[in-house]
Chain A
Amino acid sequence: MPISMIIAVPLASAIFLALSANHINKKVTASVACAAVLASWVTSVSNSLPLFLNAFPGLASSEGSNALERTSGEAMFASEHLYTWFAVDRLSVELAFKLDALAALMVLVVTSVGFLIHLYAAAYMVEDTDYARFFCYMNLFIAAMLTLVLADNLVLLYLGWEGVGVCSYLLIGFWYQDPANGAAARKAFIITRIGDASLMIAILFIAFELGTLQFDEIAAEALRSWPLGSSAAIIVSALLLVGALGKSAQLPLQTWLPDAMAGPTPVSALLHAATMVTAGVYLIARTHELFLLAPAVLGTVATLGALTAFFAACTALFENNIKRVLAYSTISQIGYMFVALGVAGFTAAMFHFVTHAFFKALLFLSAGNVTHCVKETDIRRMGGLRRSRALPGTAAVAAVGTASLAGLPLITSGFYSKDAIFWSTLQSPFARPGLLLLLLVTAALTSLYAFRWYFMIFSGPGSLATDQQINRPRDLMLYPLVVLAAVSLLVGFLEMPDTLGGDRWIKAVSEFLQPVFASAEQRYSLGTSSVFGTDEQTHRAELTLQAVSAAIALLGLIMAYHWYVIRPSWKERLARSSIGRSIAKVLRSGWAADEMYSMVIVTPYRTITHWLRHDPVDDGLDMLAGSVRLSHYLLVLSQNGRIRTYAAGMVIGASLLFLSWLWS
């Protein structure tokens, strides 16, 4: 099956659902939507198979790589060229797709997580009247994200990029009858537009400077014509970075994501886990050659990522809305991915993307089950739901998701992916001092807020638990969670660290992605020259780091258990002290970012628009029009319709002529 089928099937399904306009019944609607994503997943698996066989020759008995194109390096990929979109001068933009290891990883995660979320949504949204519209947007969202990932050039990527933006707008504002949802949707759209504009400028800059927009050619041309640290490389990668910051909700463009919780829960899950917010990570990973040419920008990526991770984790600790906690945790976890990208640990970033996609989808869908059952979104009013007969399954899978987010050692995938990021930060030549420390502090906070979230919902006393009115979640709302929980536990074992036998046993993600990043890693000798001298010292350092990160995760768990289960009374003491209250208030409002933007940008902007309401340029033009109108009135006075006035005019004129003739 051609690669374009991966995109075409969800797109066709979206068009079909749009045209059906709620006239077909809900079972058919949901079946079409889910089947489309499933078909997309099957297509991507079958297309990625040669890549797997290439990366892991042990799996294939026969030679299975005949469908692949071999380029000068080791890069392996499958590609499909549909037609030339447009060609201007030497610049030609093709409608072409490319499935290399990086794209394959993204596509597999997007379609598999997307499929499970679609299944869940089929049950979750069943009471909604706009069922078909919802699935139409969801399928379109998947199609746009797949376009973004599979695009072979920046323009096609931009098409998917904007498509994702539009779909997120449509889905966040899905319940548009409430004006607050519409406002949240507009906020998401407008703030991401800042990044989009920056990406647009970057694309134009690349087209002008390098004369090509195809990814491999960009990398080759940039390496040929831009020296390391040249201003062109810095400008382009800085512009790309701003684009990625907007889409991935990183500092300073992070404020739209918590408000995006206004959408239905499956949307939040899709937005946070598989699509949209990871687009920025993908963009940087895809253009990593440009970023490596600009080490200053790469350092900024890491710094911004670490700061975002820390700030968002602090806010998540004080947030009380069940979904907004998860939103801040997404911002924080994407911050981890940015750090990994910034220290050139691209494999670690993508690995964390994979694990995060699964456990974050799991957490969001669990939260959806909880809110569906207890009709409540404030976690302070929950508690003890583990004991409720309606939610034991949800409590169990949510525990798996929470443990994964916190990175509990050895059993959860989050531990392995986060550890990969710590390790690449420690040994990277790009890492700045303090970065690792900030990451470790954030890891402690992450574990703390993750378990706070879990304990406040599922443990302790709670009036909701004994309430017999609690709805049971539908069966279809639980099965996808079980799958996601299983994957959240198992996916970590795909990439074991060396200390746990990864080098002897399996490092699937890095081996799979090796064709994409190998040339860059060799050129900058990343990951080969260790800063620790001998192998044994390296081994010991890595083991120490893992012990520290494991201890931190456990410490967070113990602290959360102590503060939120055993002795929850400290909260009242905090509420009594004014300092504690104000700190909590600042943190809960996301470091007052919204207020700051409101003060620095929105208010001055509104003031200026107020001043300019009567456009000064218009005033000048109005004066011209006014003078014309005035002379019109004056001339109209002469045309008073009285014959005697006209006659007088004639007489005066004739007399003047006569007099001038006399005097001449």
Chain B
Amino acid sequence: MAIVPTSHVLIVSAILVLIGTFGVLLRRNLLFMLLSLEIMLNGSALAFIAASAHWQQPDGQVFVMFIMAMAAAEVAVGLALILQIYRRVSTLDADALDLMRG
């Protein structure tokens, strides 16, 4: 089994983060925006794993644990918020939700 070079892993993680970023920016549905956030988190988690493997240090893996826990909490709160929003305004269009406009 060939060893995957660290740089390749980092490129994949960068692509994941970019996919997530563009998903957040371009998607209008709040649910997809939440999904895109998850992709970004996973991209950064992958970068931590790669770094951890590269320097043979466990810190990165510990960090990934934290990221996963945080992602789970974030999804729980985020989904609850999205449900409430949908109940109140019957839409998940992020652009329609501009009550805070100046």
Contact = CB atoms under 8 A, between A and B. Distances in A.
Interface string B64-98: 00000000000000000000000000000011011
Contacts, number: 34
Interface in A640-662: 640-644, 647-648, 651
A640 B101 CA distance: 4
Interface stretch (B4-12, B21-29, B42-50, B51-59): B21-29
Contacts of B99: 641
Interface string A614-657: 00000000000000000000011011111110011001000000
A641 B98 contact: yes
A651 B21 contact: yes
A643 B24 CA distance: 9
Nearest to B99: A641
A639 B101 contact: yes
A642 B21 contact: no
Given A647-B25, A648-B25, A651-B21, A639 B102 contact: yes
B102 A644 contact: no
B3 interface: no
Given A647-B25, A648-B25, A651-B25, A640 B102 contact: yes
Contact of A644 (B28, B100, B101): B28
A642 B95 contact: yes
B22 to A, nearest CB: 9
A651 B24 CA distance: 10
A644 B95 contact: yes
B102 A641 contact: yes
B94 A636 contact: no
Interface residues of A, number: 12
Interface centre among A636, A641, A648 (most CB of B within 10 A): A641
A636 B102 CA distance: 5
- For chain B, which range describes its interface: under 10, 10 to 19, 20 to 34, or 35 or more residues? 10 to 19
A639 B25 CA distance: 17
A643 B98 CA distance: 8
B30 to A, nearest CB: 9
A167 B56 CA distance: 105
B98 A640 contact: yes
B94 A644 contact: yes
Interface in B9-38: 21, 24-26, 28, 33
A504 B99 CA distance: 107
Contacts of B100: 639, 641
Contacts of B98: 640-642
A638 B102 CA distance: 8
Contact of B24 (A638, A640, A641, A644): A644
Contacts of B28: 644
Contacts of A640: 98, 101-102
Contacts of B101: 639-642
A116 B56 CA distance: 123
Contacts of B25: 644, 647-648, 651
A635 B100 CA distance: 14
A639 B102 CA distance: 5
A644 B32 CA distance: 12
B85 to A, nearest CB: 11
A647 B102 contact: no
A638 B94 CA distance: 16
A477 B28 CA distance: 97
Given A651-B21, A651-B25, A643 B94 contact: yes
Interface string A264-302: 000000000000000000000000000000000000000
Nearest to A647: B24
A302 to B, nearest CB: 77
A371 B4 CA distance: 124
A644 B94 CA distance: 7
Nearest to A646: B100
A642 B94 contact: yes
Contacts of A651: 21, 25
A651 B20 CA distance: 12
A640 B95 CA distance: 10
A646 to B, nearest CB: 10
A635 B101 CA distance: 11
A647 B95 CA distance: 12
Nearest to B101: A641
Nearest to A633: B102
Interface in A342-359: none
Nearest to B26: A644
A636 B101 CA distance: 8
Nearest to A636: B102
A643 B97 contact: yes
A644 B33 CA distance: 9
Interface centre among B26, B33, B100 (most CB of A within 10 A): B100
Contacts of B26: 644
A311 B27 CA distance: 94
A662 to B, nearest CB: 14
Q: Please list the 7 inter-chain residue pairs (A to B) with the smallest Cβ-Cβ separation, ordered nearest first.
A: A641-B98, A639-B102, A641-B101, A641-B100, A636-B102, A643-B94, A642-B95
6 contacts: A635-B102, A640-B98, A642-B95, A648-B25, A651-B21, A651-B25
Given A641-B101, A643-B94, A644-B24, 13 more contacts: A635-B102, A639-B100, A639-B101, A639-B102, A640-B101, A641-B102, A642-B98, A643-B97, A644-B26, A644-B28, A644-B33, A647-B25, A651-B25
Interface of B: 21, 24-26, 28, 33, 94-95, 97-102
